[in-house]
Amino acid sequence: MGKIAWSTAHQEFIISDHYYFWKLEKFIKENLNKEVEEVDNLKEVLSGEYDTLIFNYPEIPFDEDDIKIVEEFLKRGGKVGIFGYYKNEDRIADTINTLIEHFGMKHNGDIVIDEVNNDEGDNLMIRADFIDGGEVVLACTSTVEGGKPIVVGKATSKSNQNKDLVFFAEKDVNGGKLIVGGTCVFWDNYSIDRSDNRKLIEYILK
């Protein structure tokens, strides 16, 4: 089974940050039976060792060389996941879009609240429906466009841009799969054990 390449090439949150991600690292090893490695040079993902490539809150825009590497990884049947945050904070939506717009997808950078279906009475901790069944909790999410919906909002959720309530979506690209998430706050130590979040994580990484 291939490894997960966790990019640090675009100043992403690192999975080796124990305070935020030790539960995720443990879940990957013990439940998914996979290895995860941080990769600071995207060219490494074409070595044949990796079947999954993750960009978790990338802060540096993608250039033509990056796009070509991702294209090639997808052509080889790889899975690519890229995850952002709400209200275009740190221009995160704009940065993500430098990659995914090339594949017909978009991170909207909007703000979604839900006064009814939320966790702990926090209207930014959205409860949403996962297509594989169950419910996930997403903190500070935006909506995304393009591809097939994976996680969708309930009727009580509202986007400040009146966007369709699609929070995670996937698209088949050249034999591979591209997954885009409106938030990266679903698999950190604070969020991973909420509702069925582990099912969503397994869907993305397995």
pLDDT of 1: 59
Can you point out the beta strands (E) in the chain? 3-7, 36-39, 50-56, 79-83, 106-107, 112-114, 118-119, 122-130, 135-139, 144-145, 148-153, 157-159, 166-173, 176-181
Confidence of residue 2 (pLDDT cuts 50, 70, 90): confident
User: Which residues lie across from 138 on neighbouring strands?
Assistant: 126
Residue 85 CA to residue 10 CA, distance in Å, equals 15
Of 123, 190, 193, the residue nearest 154 (C-alpha): 123
Q: Determine the topology of domain 3-205 in CATH.
A: Rossmann fold (3.40.50)
pLDDT tens digits, one per residue of 152-187: 999 999 999 999 999 999 999 999 999 999 999 999
pLDDT of 89: 87
* Residue extents of the structural domains in the chain: 3-205
Residue burial 99-112, b: 16+ Cβ < 10 Å; e: rest? bbebbebbbbbbbb
pLDDT tens digits, one per residue of 76-106: 999 999 999 999 989 999 999 999 999 999 9
pLDDT of 146: 97
Contact 171, 147 (CB under 8 A): yes
| Average pLDDT estimate for 121-130 | 98
pLDDT tens digits, one per residue of 22-70: 999 999 999 999 999 999 999 999 999 999 999 999 999 999 999 999 9
